[in-house]
Structure 1
Amino acid sequence: MAAQYDIDKDRLAGKAVIVTGAGRGLGEAFARHAAACGAHVIVNDVDLSEAQKVVEAIKADGGSAVASGHSVADPTAARELAELCIDRFGKIDGLINNAAVFYIAAINEERIAEAERLVGVNLLGAMHCAAAVAPHMLAARRGSIINLASSAAFGLAGRGAYGATKAALISLTYSWALELKAYGVRVNALSPRASTRMNSSTPGMGDVRDIAPVATFLLSDLSDQITGQCVRASGLDLAWTLPTQYAPLIRRDTPGTQGVADALAKAEPGLQPFGFVA
């Protein structure tokens, strides 16, 4: 995989990075690209055999990696994952919160057990991992955390639970960036459009290998002034995702329901479109 890139082998030289959900797809691409750019990588996936295959590929390319089968949904396992990175590489410079599960269901067809598992991996898993690595990054006064977002955060039919977790990760990105900025720790989100097992039936998806350099950039010193941002990446195309800002408040002329109707009719910028539009 890495051989298909014009790799800057020193871009992440000496850095220690954890990539969750790295046994395949985007996570594998992130892990292999980071390793090709000089990072020591913890390749984490609940399917340990898949993680080990990625580690073998990294080592075959001359890189440094260790496999992990820890479940990010378990806070104790997340702490053990962080400790594994410390034990093997002596530090934690980067975390890519990529692990996720996915399903499609209308609101009247939701299955609570499936929804709880999704929230446990996609949202709580990212929180557990960030909480586990943060003390090490704070002590070192450096580090980069990347949360994997999705266009589903802006609304896609049948993907309500999945989109909600991704919207929450964008929100957490802003909050964590505010909390950690003074300590030299950066937090950004990456919203990719690429072909994976989750969206294999969606047309027009690009190659995961086109997205990997974006994650490497956010891990690297090239982005040392960037925090609290969400980068959208589709193939070789990039954009900043803009956080929503509240419009100015206008005062109701009367306190009742008609006053609400009259005020909102005059409010700018008016009713907003909803749902993701490519």
Structure 2
Amino acid sequence: MTRYFSEADSVETVNARVAPDADPRLAQVMSSLVRHLHAFVKDVTLTEAEWGIAIDFLTHTGQICSDTRQEFILLSDVLGVSMLVDAVNNRKPAGSTPSTVFGPFHVDGVPEREMGSNISLDGVGEACLFEGQVVDMDGHPIKDAIVDVWSDNADGFYDVQQPDIQPQHNNRGIFRTGADGRYWFTGIKPVSYPIPDDGPVGQMLCHLGRHPFRPAHMHFLVSAPGYHRLITHTFVAGDSYLESDAVFGVKAPLIVDFEALDTTQDGPRWRAAYDFVLPPST
């Protein structure tokens, strides 16, 4: 039956055009998207001018994206969508380490480093020893776990944001645990920083009266055969942005006390100890 568009039947009219042989999952997702999007337009009585602004916003969001900047990830992050997608896809048993947002600054191809290496290639910042264990749900160490880490520098920028200033792979490293499941490396004590706010997402936050800052954190991607991959951070206890993280990434179990070490001795000024607990993948 031919169905002509009307306000009352907008959802049914659009969704009726989906072919019967379309991929079932795609049809489910798109039908739900249409239903919720049309409900939003009707709920706020969206004006043509407002829709034009939205199209312009999305256009500029795409135009600012590059090999080293993903504005759409930032948009997803600040709207809480990244954390929600993470939550519904990482419903893990109690006692396992919580996950959080991946973020836009992970880099593939970082070299594996010898355990205990210093990932601060420019030597700028307050040196910090990061250490702990990767264990299973029963507390047994996991051998050959890959611990992929990255953080900002002392000025709050990742190396990919400053390719002409920072060495490549600065404050990044990949480590492999031994039979004891332990990891340790030296980096710097992370600092809080604003997400890139010179684009459409930053302008949106400004109009909403929201700040762009993330609390200080170290990124971890921990994986091992037979276990769920973990994407998470450890956050610096006491940071002023813990309760207002621009991307909603903070979870209480991930907040870590950074212990001040004896600064009269050579070596790191801080120590951050944290154990990662991975559930089995089956």
The structure whose RCO (Cα within 8 Å, separation 6+) is larger is: 2
Normalising by the smaller structure, the TM-score range is: under 0.3
The structure where helix makes up a greater share of residues is: 1
Larger Rg: 2
TM-score by length of 1: 0.24
Q: TM-score, normalised by structure 2?
A: 0.24
